[in-house]
Amino acid sequence: MHPERSGLSPLKLAALAKEVPEHYRALVLVGAVRGLRWGEAVGLRVRDVDFMRHTVTIAQTVEELSGHMRVVPEAKTRSSLRTLAVPGFLVDELTRHLQ
């Protein structure tokens, strides 16, 4: 059995997002709001975001080995490839990030 993890409250997440450098804000928010692993969050591409349907699709991951980053185009398991709904404020944040 895995120990229960405590998450950040919405207020604490908002405070954290304000403290990180602006270019990391979308990464922090998408990771925290949707519970993405680091490699899933940094592996997101523009084409993985459906701005009209408010979804993100986890289609690849990024891993770091000995200080080198590499894209892993295939997921370890079929359930790792998934499409997740995202709230409107997060779509807005991703839009700002890309602008």
E strand segments, 42-85: 49-50, 55-58, 61-65, 68-72, 82-85
Domain range enclosing 80: 10-98
**Span 54-99, pLDDT tens digits:** 999 999 999 988 989 899 887 667 777 899 999 999 999 999 999 9
Residue 3 covered by a domain = no
- How many structural domains is the chain composed of? 1
Residue 84 covered by a domain = yes
Residue 36 covered by a domain = yes
Could you give the CA distance from residue 28 to residue 36 in angstroms, rounded to a whole number?
Answer: 10
pLDDT at 2 over 70: no
Residue 4 covered by a domain = no
Residue 1 covered by a domain = no
Whether the pTM exceeds 0.85: the reply is: no
Residue 32 covered by a domain = yes
